[in-house]
Amino acid sequence: MNAAPLTRLPPGSTIGILGGGQLGRMLAIAAAQMGLKCHIYAPEVDNPAYEVAAKHTVAPYHDAQALSAFAAQVDVITYEFENIPVETVDMLAQLRPVFPDRLALATSQDRLAEKAFFNAAGIATAPFADVEDAGALMRAVAQIGRPAILKTRRFGYDGKGQVVVRESADLAVIYRSIGAHPCILEGIVRFSREISVIAARGLDGQFAAYDVAENQHANHILSKTLVPAHVTSETAKKAIEIAQTVARELNYVGVFAVEMFVVPDAAGVEHLIVNEMAPRVHNSGHWTLDGAVTSQFEQHIRAICGWPLGSVRRHGHIEMQNLIGHDTDRWLDILAEGHASLRLYGKSVAKAGRKMGHVTRVFPKS
Amino acid sequence: MNAAPLTRLPPGSTIGILGGGQLGRMLAIAAAQMGLKCHIYAPEVDNPAYEVAAKHTVAPYHDAQALSAFAAQVDVITYEFENIPVETVDMLAQLRPVFPDRLALATSQDRLAEKAFFNAAGIATAPFADVEDAGALMRAVAQIGRPAILKTRRFGYDGKGQVVVRESADLAVIYRSIGAHPCILEGIVRFSREISVIAARGLDGQFAAYDVAENQHANHILSKTLVPAHVTSETAKKAIEIAQTVARELNYVGVFAVEMFVVPDAAGVEHLIVNEMAPRVHNSGHWTLDGAVTSQFEQHIRAICGWPLGSVRRHGHIEMQNLIGHDTDRWLDILAEGHASLRLYGKSVAKAGRKMGHVTRVFPKS
């Protein structure tokens, strides 16, 4: 059984959001700016999103009673990260529309299903092999070669749940080191740049993509995003076509990100290899808050409410820098730049590797 | 006794805001986007700002105990409208820094004090006369002439507390009709345009003004704002100089608005007559949310935290339209424009004359 299909919510409706981190916080703010209320559902007692939402529920993701009470108080449900249990979404979907739906969530939660989905849609990925036990790892290495990357199929982010399989590595030790979870082994891609497409698809199939972003990572965490990416216009066009294919094949509703590698061949022609997708607003789209007509957060809210999508027009050339851990100690210098927009997530403790905020610099086009 | 002077608040601090309407709501959102918490204090049980603030207190503005408890929980205090009793600010200022201070508040609350302040600072206003009783009205009319406008000295907004004194009017009836409150009589200014300057002054005296806005009213309520205003660059420069004078003379901290009339002389030269000031963020600055690097709300928060001011750069030519009462019924058409940014204040009932939201359209410069 499923909830009645959503047509179009009026202003004043309540958005239910699973997860209360910075993405939930920025979604809640965007919703409020359009006259919507938000109700955050998350297991943590203290969370950045609670402070800017009309209501919040603190309960585990498998608490059927709490989920049901939550659903009764909201008009549509979304989530801020892809590690929400599919069972939670299944339970909620019986009571209220949930966007993105379980297909998008289940696909992006499992690296094996995700890569199989991409390939079935004609989208190139790195070579990969299923690794369900230590024996499978030996066969996978024989197939993919070394070096390669062993990744847990589920619950990896920011480089967690990944290990490089080098020439000298003892495969049994490696497999135990990653927790003996189901994994995939991926061939290493020699890329020149990492890019991402942030796009949205509306309930009526309307599609809109922001200009392609170029991403720089440090310690497996996004460090800097530049827009537009330094790729040919042909490559940018292809990247957006890939995102459009993903959205269409998943019958997707909401904002999502597709991360890709740019791989130049010997003749210098750029090829695209898709790394992964995220069924949600994405760090490499944070620049849209201060650098585009419609932020990715507003765009997501528009999509899940059944509203028309907004303009993805940029206000200039963009540089977005993540503020990780003690990077935020430089807050005063950033404010003093004048043209920089400092966004902080309200987290009290600046742990190493923790995303504390970001800064967007918009350079006028002329 | 006054609270210890504010130097500079760190992120994570709490802003206390008196008043919980749409201005408080947009201030609270701006504060949250920079990692600050907000605590709203207002007498209403239900208010647009409560939903986006970490905390709120419902109590009257003269409740000393509630004010004192509120002050103990915040680091700096501001207000969203100028009809806060000066006594409230005086009480709070003993406990915490309050910006703008009592001088700005008291000056802008009283049309007589305000006009006297402008004239003392060398700023031209309409001719005016003090009307403290019905007899004074007769003398004032003899001095100013008819038609003229009788305005209550205090608590007027959006055309409330104003009446035109025409040739035929019975002065005693007119004076009773306005409630026999202390008034001023103002000469009518034959202006070609109404403009406003939204500007900010930091704790260290730093000054920044947005480009001059041109305002169109309907039924005494702001209907539309265009930026830049259709005035000569010389007039725009003079308008900003007037704002800078006001800020300096008041030793002002925060964002404020100065409303002016453009009066062309027989030779076509534009002269400026100041109408009034507002010691707060202002409706004619709402476009900055979507059309400038730094919104007026962020700018105000920066100023009262002792932070450097942000860039006032525009993203293009601006048209901001207020959505009054049932104007919001057109929400779907506005969303469907794509390039328009729809901002709604979360008010449940669309009463006539009630400001329900606004829409900003940014037209790229080239």
Q: How many other C-beta atoms can be found within 10 angstroms of the C-beta atom of residue B219?
A: 10
Contact B30, B298 (CB under 8 A): yes
Query: What own/partner pairs with CB < 8 Å and gap ≥ 24 does A346-350 have?
Result: A346/A25, A346/A48, A346/A51, A346/B12, A346/B32, A346/B35, A346/B36, A346/B37, A347/A22, A347/A48, A347/B35, A348/B12, A350/A325, A350/A326
| Residue B117, number of CB atoms within 10 A of its CB | 21
Across B183-247, the runs of DSSP E, i.e. the strands, are 183-187, 193-201, 207-209, 213-218, 221-227
pLDDT of residue A77: 98
B52 within 8 A of A27, measured Cβ to Cβ: no
8 A C-beta contact, residue A171 and residue A224: no
- Strand-pair category, B55-58 with B37-42: parallel
Angstrom distance (rounded) from CA B71 to CA B119: 35
Beta bridge partners of B186: B128, B149
Task: Calculate the alpha carbon distances from A176 to A16, A137, A159, A168 in Å.
Answer: 39, 11, 17, 16
Query: What are A153's two structure tokens?
Result: 């199929």
Residue count (chain A): 366
Q: Do B35 and A344 touch (CB under 8 A)?
A: yes
Backbone angles phi, psi at B203, to 5 degrees: -60, -30
Q: CA nearest A362: which of A309, A311, A321, A312? A: A321
State the average pLDDT over residues B155-169. 82
Helices B102-109 and B86-93, packing angle to 10 deg: 180
Q: Using pLDDT thresholds of 50, 70 and 90, give the confidence band for residue A366.
A: low
Put simply, the answer to whether B32 touches A51 (Cβ < 8 Å) is yes
Residue A1 predicted with pLDDT over 60: no
- Cα B260–Cα B261–Cα B263 angle in degrees, nearest 5: 145
- Provide the percentage of residues in chain B whose pLDDT is more than 70: 98
Alpha helices in B178-336 (DSSP H): 233-249, 288-291, 296-304, 331-336
* pLDDT exceeds 60 at position A205: yes
pLDDT over 90 at B277, yes or no: yes
Strand, coil or helix: what is A280? coil
For B38, the closest chain A residue by CA position comes to: A51
Q: Do A307 and B332 touch (CB under 8 A)?
A: yes
A294 CB neighbours in chain B (<8 A) are 341
Can you tell me the distance from the alpha carbon of B9 to that of B15, in angstroms, rounded to the nearest whole number?
10
Which residues in chain A are contacts of B332 at CB distance < 8 A? 8, 307-308
Residues of B in contact with A331 (CB under 8 A): 10-11
Chain-chain contact of B51 with A54 (C-beta, under 8 angstroms): yes
Instruction: Determine the distance in angstroms separating the CA of A316 from the nearest CA of chain B, rounded to an integer.
Output: 9
All residues of chain A having their beta carbon less than 8 Å from the beta carbon of residue B13 are: none
Residues in chain A with CB shorter than 8 Å from the CB of B25 are 32
Q: From the list B10, B339, B343, which residue is nearest A313 (CB)?
A: B339
Residue B16: beta bridge partners? Answer: B39, B77
Q: Chain A: nearest CA to B189, how far in angstroms?
A: 37
Give the model's pLDDT for residue A338.
Answer: 81
> What is the pLDDT averaged over residues B144-170?
87
CA B149, CA B129: separation in Å to the nearest integer?
11
Q: Which of A13, A15, A23, A34 to mutate to test the interface with B (most CBs of B within 10 A)?
A: A34
Q: Do B331 and A11 touch (CB under 8 A)?
A: yes
pLDDT of residue A365: 78
Q: Picking from A98-102, A259-263, A358-362, B154-158, which range would have the lowest pLDDT averaged per residue? A: B154-158
Chain A residues close to B357, C-beta within 8 Å: 35
Beta-bridged to residue B271, according to DSSP, are B263
Alpha helices in chain A (DSSP H): 22-33, 64-72, 86-93, 102-109, 111-120, 134-144, 171-177, 233-249, 288-291, 296-304, 331-336
Lowest mean pLDDT among A129-138, B59-68, B156-165, B214-223: B156-165
pLDDT digits (tens, 9 = 90+) for A242-272: 999 999 999 999 999 999 999 999 999 999 9
State which residue of chain A sits closest to B291, comparing Cα positions: A293
> Nearest CB to A338: which of B8, B311, B335?
B311
A313/B8 CB distance under 8 A: no
Q: Give B63: exposed, middle or buried? Use CB within 10 Å, 0-12, 13-18, 19+.
A: middle
pLDDT of residue B47: 95
Q: Which of B22, B25, B66 is nearest to B43 (CA)?
A: B66
Secondary structure of chain A: what % helix, strand, coil (to 5)? 30, 30, 40
Size of the A and B interface in Cβ pairs below 8 Å: 120
The CA radius of gyration of chain B, in Å to the nearest whole number, is: 20
Where does chain B hold its CATH 3.40.50.20 domain(s)?
14-98
Q: How far away is chain A from the Cα of B334, in angstroms, using its nearest Cα?
A: 10
Q: Give me the torsion for CA of A133, A138, A143, A144, rounded to 10°.
A: 80
Q: What is the residue type of A143? A: Q
CB–CB of A346 and B37 under 8 A?
yes
CA A243/CA A148 separation, integer angstroms = 26
Q: Which residues contact A44 (CB under 8 A, 6 or more apart)?
A: A20, A58
Of B307, B341, B344, the CB nearest to A11: B344
Other CB atoms within a 10 A radius of the CB of residue A146 amount to 16
Q: How confident is the model at residue A158 (pLDDT cuts 50, 70, 90)?
A: low
pLDDT tens, B213-230?
999 999 889 999 999 999
Cβ count within 10 A of residue A219: 10
Listed in order, the ranges of chain B carrying CATH 3.30.1490.20 are 127-187
Q: Which residue of A has its CA nearest to B310?
A: A338
Best A297, A335, A356, A360 member to test B by mutation, with max B CBs in 10 Å, is A335
Q: Chain A residue closest to B306 (CA)? A: A332
* Residue among B184, B194, B197, B295 at smallest CA distance from B242: B197
ipTM of the complex: 0.95
Using 50, 70 and 90 to split pLDDT, how confident is the model at B1?
A: low
Quote the tokens at residue A305: 């409410």
Q: Which residues of B touch A40 (CB under 8 A)?
A: none
Go through B183-208 and write b for each residue having 16 or more CB atoms within 10 A of its CB, e for each that does not: bbbbbebebebbbbbbbbbbbeeeeb
What is the model's pLDDT at position A157? 64
The secondary structure of residue B99, as a DSSP letter, is S
Average pLDDT along chain A: 95
For B335, other C-beta atoms within 10 Å of its C-beta total: 20
Is A344's CB within 8 Å of B11's CB? yes
Q: Which of B51, B342, B343 sits opposite A37 (nearest CB)?
A: B51
Rounded CA-CA distance A150/B81 in Å is 59
Residue B74 Cα to chain centre, angstroms: 23
Instruction: Map residue A82 onto helix, strand or coil.
Output: coil
Q: Which residues of B touch A309 (CB under 8 A)?
A: 338
**Mean pLDDT within B77-103:** 96
Q: B127-187, superfamily in CATH?
A: ATP-grasp fold, A domain (3.30.1490.20)
Measured in degrees and rounded to the nearest 5, phi and psi for residue B220 equal: 70, 5
Give the confidence band of B267 by pLDDT, cuts at 50, 70, 90: very high
CATH of domain A193-363: 3.30.470.20
Residue B15: both structure tokens together: 């802003």
Q: Which residues of A touch B52 (CB under 8 A)?
A: 28-29, 32, 52-54
Please, which pLDDT band fits residue B366 given cuts at 50, 70 and 90?
Answer: low
Partner residue opposite B343 with nearest CB, options A8, A34, A293: A34
The answer to whether B28 and B49 have CB atoms below 8 angstroms apart is yes
* Nearest residue on chain A to B23, alpha-carbon basis: A33
Report pLDDT digits (tens) over A21-65.
999 999 999 999 999 999 999 999 999 999 999 999 999 999 999
Q: Which of B37, B51, B294 sits opposite A32 (nearest CB)?
A: B51
Three-state SS at A9? coil
Rounded mean pLDDT, A188-215: 97
Identify the DSSP state of B316: S
**Is the bond preceding A147 in cis, omega lying within 30 degrees of 0?**
yes
- Listed in sequence order, the residues at least 6 apart from A46 whose beta carbon sits closer than 8 Å to its beta carbon are none
Distance between CA B187 and CA B92 in Å, rounded?
A: 37
Query: Helix (H, G, I), strand (E, B), or coil: what is residue A142?
Result: helix
Nearest CA-CA partner of B110 in B93, B130, B127: B130
> Whose CA is closest to A192, among A277, A122, A269?
A269
Q: Do A25 and B32 touch (CB under 8 A)?
A: yes
Tell me the pTM: 0.96
Q: Which of A38, A299, A315, A356 is the mutation pick for testing B, counting most B CBs within 10 A?
A: A315
B149: left (phi over 0), alpha (psi -120 to 50) or beta: beta
Contacts B341 to A, Cβ<8 Å: 293-294, 310
A chain contacts of residue B294, beta-carbon cutoff 8 Å: 341
pLDDT number for residue A159: 67
Contact A344/B34, CB-based, under 8 Å?
yes
Indicate the class that CATH gives domain B14-98: alpha beta
Record the tokens describing residue A332, joined without a space: 């005063």
